[in-house]
Amino acid sequence: MTTVLAARRGPLLLASLVSSIACSPAIEVEVVGSRDLGPLEVSESIRGRDGGYSVHAWGRSIWGYGDSILAIEGEDGSAWRNNTMSHTEDLDLSDGVSGFVEAVDSLGAPIEFLPQSDEEVAFNMAHSSNSPSCADPCGARKMLWPGAMVEDVERDRVLVFYSKFYGEPGEWNFSAIGASIAVWEGLDSTPVRPEVRPDQDESTLLFPVEEGWPSFGVAALIEDGHLYAYGCDGEFLAKHCKLGRVDPAQALELDAWRFFDGDGWSSEIDDAKTVLDAHTILTIHYNAYVGRYLAIYNGPLENDIYIRTAPAPEGPWSKEALAVKTMPGVGDAANYSGMAHPEFAREGGRFELLSYHRETGDWASEIRLVELELAPID
């Protein structure tokens, strides 16, 4: 983080950041160039949406989004979706990315990607401002936001991490309930949210907040037969990320998860140590050209996107370096959701595609694309 940003976070946080930076190794990648590729292609039915985690599966690049504002009302009479999805077979960046398609209802409005439970549907309908008998607090909702998605090749499926939130009207007026994994078995089907803890009220959540779990799945990858997932918690401006791993075949079995404790892998989440300081929206993947794992994320309340390197998923993670200064949005809203899309990498990872969310007007936004040129630092 820059000294200016750290200073305005307060002396205790500044001391923590300085200590963390002092203990981190030097970064092992250099950003030698970047080019703006403009906004991600969307249909005319979309006014804006955020998020944008992607995965390469079934011959396509598949993107999952969070809150999505529509230009039209759907069959439900609403122009709002808690989450949406689109995908394309075009993986060639030479002429931009195009050909995105998405599931829509009979009116042409995108449908939600992650299915709601009967209880969630009933709650959201009862508290909908479109209802003449809107329950108090009117406008409250339970929403599902997709996180990292990983292709489980051996089982021909995609594991979709997601977080469940409760929100009420008002800026930033929402809180996390927990995180979990949905199982998706094909583009012609809907992801399934299994009951992983049937004895609990929130039976679909592997990692409920009330038990002290961080939101695992803010970044995830499968390497060497292990599914790795990062969970970040802490103050808004300083998120501390822990790392869990599991056999992908047992991803929905909480007892099978192990957590990095600084030396090895423990069955107890209380033993987990912070492996890097980043943010709650980031991507981590291996770049063969650099020969290192890359962590990509926006600085909180900044327009800058940062990069770190590590020899292994658990680290040690390097000091952060500026990856790119993004195009400022309209007004005073900072850009966010900076992340990488390795399925679009060129020349073995020399060129990497990044995306970020940018405000373009009142209740309007874009996901903008930028390509980085990287070089390893010996």
Q: pLDDT digits over 11-25, tens only?
A: 333 334 444 445 789
111 CB-contact burial (10 Å; exposed 0-12 / middle 13-18 / buried 19+):
middle
Got the DSSP string for 103-139? Answer: -B-TTSPBPPSSPPPHHHHHHHHHT-TTSTTPPSSTT
* Residues 6 or more apart in contact with residue 308 via CB below 8 angstroms: 27, 276, 278, 294, 295, 317, 318, 319, 320, 321
Element (H, E) at 7: helix 3-7
Task: Give the number of other Cβ atoms within 10 Å of residue 58's Cβ.
Answer: 16
Buried-state track 197-229, b at ≥16 Cβ within 10 A, e below 16: beeeebebbbbbbeeebbbbbbbbbbeeebbbb
Residue with tokens 């949210």: 193
Distances in Å between the Cα of 95 and the Cα atoms of 38, 52, 90, 257, 299 are 12, 20, 10, 42, 29
Residue 201 has a pLDDT of 92
Q: pLDDT digits over 63-80, tens only?
A: 999 999 999 999 999 999
Q: pTM above the 0.75 mark? A: yes
For the chain, 378 residues long, give each residue's pLDDT as a single digit of tens.
222 223 333 333 333 444 444 578 999 999 999 999 999 999 999 999 999 999 999 999 999 999 999 999 999 999 999 999 999 999 998 888 899 999 999 999 999 999 999 999 999 999 998 888 999 999 999 999 999 999 999 999 999 999 999 999 987 789 999 999 999 999 999 999 999 999 999 999 999 999 999 999 999 999 999 999 999 987 766 789 999 999 999 999 999 999 999 999 999 999 999 999 998 899 999 999 999 999 999 988 899 999 999 999 999 999 999 999 999 999 889 999 999 999 999 999 999 999 999 999 999 999 999 999 999 997
